[in-house]
Amino acid sequence: MFDVFLNVLGVVFLWLAVEYCLRHQTAESLDDASMVPFADDPEVARRVELATGKTVKAVAPEEAKKGWINLEM
């Protein structure tokens, strides 16, 4: 019985911690954050925009500087 109490207490603590961390977030900021993984690839950003109707603030890929090369990892 005591372990059930500790489990419930842990779930309540986790819920309160998440609520505390997200207290200043708005729906718009969370929506923008969900689009960040697509921001570095313009082609994928365009497809996500077409599929969802939401705008992705895409950035251009980094260009290699003269004398430097970009390695594919």
- As averages over each run of 10 residues, the pLDDT of the chain (73 residues) reads 95 97 89 80 84 79 72 68
On whether the CB atoms of residues 39 and 57 are closer than 8 A, the answer is: yes
pLDDT of residue 54: 84
pTM of this structure: 0.49
Cα gap 4→26, rounded to integer Å: 34
Q: Is 55 helix (H, G, I), strand (E, B) or coil?
A: coil
pLDDT of residue 61: 66
